[in-house]
Each structure stands twice: as C-alpha cells, then as structure tokens.
Chain A
Amino acid sequence: MTPEERIDAAELALGLLEGHERVTALERVLADPAFAAELAWWRSRLEVLHAEYGAAEPPAALASRIEARIDAEAHVTPSTARMRRWPWLIGGLAGGALAASLAALVLTQTTPVPTPVRSERQVQGPLLVAALVPAKDQEVAPVAAVVDPGSRIIRVAAIETPRGRVAELWRIGADGVPRSLGLLTAARATRLSFRPRTGPGLGETLAISIEPLGGSRTGTPTGPVVATGVLSRG
C-alpha cells in the first residue's frame, strides 16, 4: 500500500469525504482487505480524540423515556437467550466501530454502482451493512458485507479460504436458526442475490463458515465459523 493510499484511508476514517469520493472509498473497503485494515488502523489511532468531547447533562426525564422505548420493542427483538444457542455468535463485532462507520458512510449513498439498469431499484430501500468480525485470536481484518434489500443483492468482501474448502455465508434471524445465503468466491468479493422475503434483515446476524467444496450438506454450518457480524442500518 502506497503512502497515498494510506492517506485515502485516513480521509475515510476522519469522515472528510462526501458524495462520489466517499462511495469510491467505501467500495474499496469492501474490495480490498489491505485498505480495510488501514482504515481500522486509523480508526483505532484516532478514537482517543473522543476524550476531547466535553460533557453535558441530559434532561433527567430522558432515561425513563429510553427505558419505555426498550420496553415497547422488547417483544420484537430476538431474544438474547435464543442467540446463546449459537455460542460462536458471541465472538462479537470488533468492529462495532467499523460497522457503525460503514453504516454512516453508506447512509446517503444508495447507488454505489453506476449501472443504470439497476440503480433505480437500488434507491428503494436503505442499505444494511455489517462488519463480519473474525473469531477470537485471528488477526484478520473484518470482512465487510452490504445488503441491498431493494435489488436483493448481498456483496461480501474477499475472504481467504483454505485450499479445497469453501466459505459459506449464513443469516441467523430471530429464531436463531442459520440459513444459507450461498457460497463465497475464494479471495474475491462476492455478489449474491436472494429471493423475495428470504434476505437478511436489520439486526440479523451474518456468519461465514468454512465448508467442504460444494457447501454444507446438512443445511447448517458444519465447519468452523470464522467471522460473524450484525446487520445495521446503512
């Protein structure tokens, strides 16, 4: 990576870019793991600046308003207990930061690919994004995934797979059951499409497992789950 490219990542980390430049940089995060790693490097260096924000007292009533809203949506959120059936999910989201920032990045850019035929459909729904974080002890950059509910397309950044094996993408919804979304191309970004009402939604978990060639035959992950992440609003 050239010094110039490192600065491209810094611009993205600081939030300096907008419009087309931002889209281009974001797409690069998806396509180029080295660039994604450089972005993560900058983020972790810059995050100490948070200490410079001053404090301010919110109104006392706010706490109870927030709790009331949590109560109100309690019955629609996937139950935590259910999620625990899949202990590997707890591997978590290193990139809380990365996912959140990707979300912020894509927010106003719903037409990242300049293909006229599809761009009209792409603006229909907000994009969902996730940073799929490697399981513990793996020094690998998070894998970015973007779901476009409008055109029913999922794009996943490149992931390395062992020779003779294949990476498979799963969604885990409120019921805690993994459902396959398809196989990922080795070492290249993959584009998958899904049928109506079968795509992953907001708050669902995406996971990547390593499977025998051809993919899992049992309908659930059989190999190690190497990365997971929760979809948030793009």
Chain B
Amino acid sequence: MAALLATGLGNRRAFRQVYQMTSTKLFGICLRICGERQTAEDVLQEVYLTIWRRAPSFEPSRGSPVAWLATIARNRALDWRRANNKPPPEPWSEGADTSVSEPVDNALLADRAMIEEEGAARLQGCLEGLDHRPRGAIRAAFLDGLTYSELAKREAVPLATMKSTIRRALLRLRDCLNDDA
C-alpha cells in the first residue's frame, strides 16, 4: 500500500518494490489469460508502465491495492487477446469441481489481508451454493476472461443454454450476496 502510494509520487524505488512484491502474481494473470509466455512478458511490461502512469490516481480508501493492480493486469491481457483476435487459452488445469486455487505467492500474503477476507469468504460461500456447471462457468468467465460464446464453445453447449444457465446462477448469486449483507 505504502509502496504504491509512493510510486504515485514518482518514487522509483517504491515502484521497484511494488514490482518485487507483485510481479509473480501479475505475471500469473497475464500468462493465464494470454496463454503464451512471450506475449505474457510483453503484456506484463505494458501493465507496469500503466501502473507507473496511473499510480498517482490510486485511491486507497476505495479498495485494495492488489485488486487495483490485478485489474490492470487482467484488462491489459484481455485487451491484447481481443486486439489480436486470439482464442482463449485451453482450460486451466483444474479439478472437475471448484477450481482449486494455486498457492498464492508468499510475497503477497501480507497484502492478502487487504483483499478483504470477509468479502472473499462471502463470495466463495455463495458460489458454493450454485450448481457445479454454472459455478465453473462464472469462475472461467472471470479468471480466463471468457465471453458467453467462448464459454459455450468450451463446454460444447448452445449459446442460448449457456446464457440462461449463467443468468439464473447470477440471479441466485445476487440474492445470496444480498442476504448476507
């Protein structure tokens, strides 16, 4: 947090620190969405240039720094995939059920507290309440950056089916998240 704020003031040492603390996480995001290493490296460069430029506008009261950085990485990677008309990568190797999250890099553990454990637990709890298929699809939509048609293709179901399945699941998710509030 402090390092990101100092980066916003143009402090290069702080920027290096942000890079050290977060580059494995953000590279993981780029790699998963882009699906190829060389591209992920190029995209990661753009990500950190964007972070350097936008750090002055990071507003700590409005959310966790990790989420802010991760959002930039995810969007840059998706930008690249769309601009180059690339298909999404193969399904990430994950169990048939809820994707087991890989161990998060240790350097990030300190910051993970910032990701609002409570919010994470609530979302996970509500996701668990969904059926297996829509739950996997919602995760894949977010983590792999898949659209409806890409999901339908991957799951080999008609587009309309995929849409209505996910919309029903999102409706339940909305209710669940609200109930807990």
Contact = CB atoms under 8 A, between A and B. Distances in A.
B72 A65 contact: no
Contacts of A175: none
Size band of the interface chain A makes with B: 35 or more
Interface in B111-129: 112, 115-116, 119-120, 123-124
Contacts of B70: 47, 50, 53
Interface in A25-71: 44-59, 62-63, 65-67, 69-70
The A interface, classified by DSSP as helix, strand, loop or mixed, is: helix
A156 interface: no
29 contacts: A7-B171, A15-B146, A16-B147, A45-B119, A47-B70, A48-B67, A48-B123, A49-B143, A50-B74, A53-B29, A54-B104, A55-B24, A55-B27, A55-B102, A56-B24, A58-B24, A58-B41, A62-B23, A62-B45, A65-B45, A67-B12, A70-B52, A80-B10, A92-B58, A93-B58, A96-B57, A96-B58, A97-B68, A133-B59
Interface of A: 3, 6-7, 10-11, 14-18, 44-59, 62-63, 65-67, 69-70, 73, 77, 80, 83, 90-97, 100-101, 103-104, 107-108, 133, 136, 203, 229-230, 232
B41 A94 contact: no
Size band of the interface chain B makes with A: 35 or more
B44 A58 contact: yes
B63 A97 contact: yes
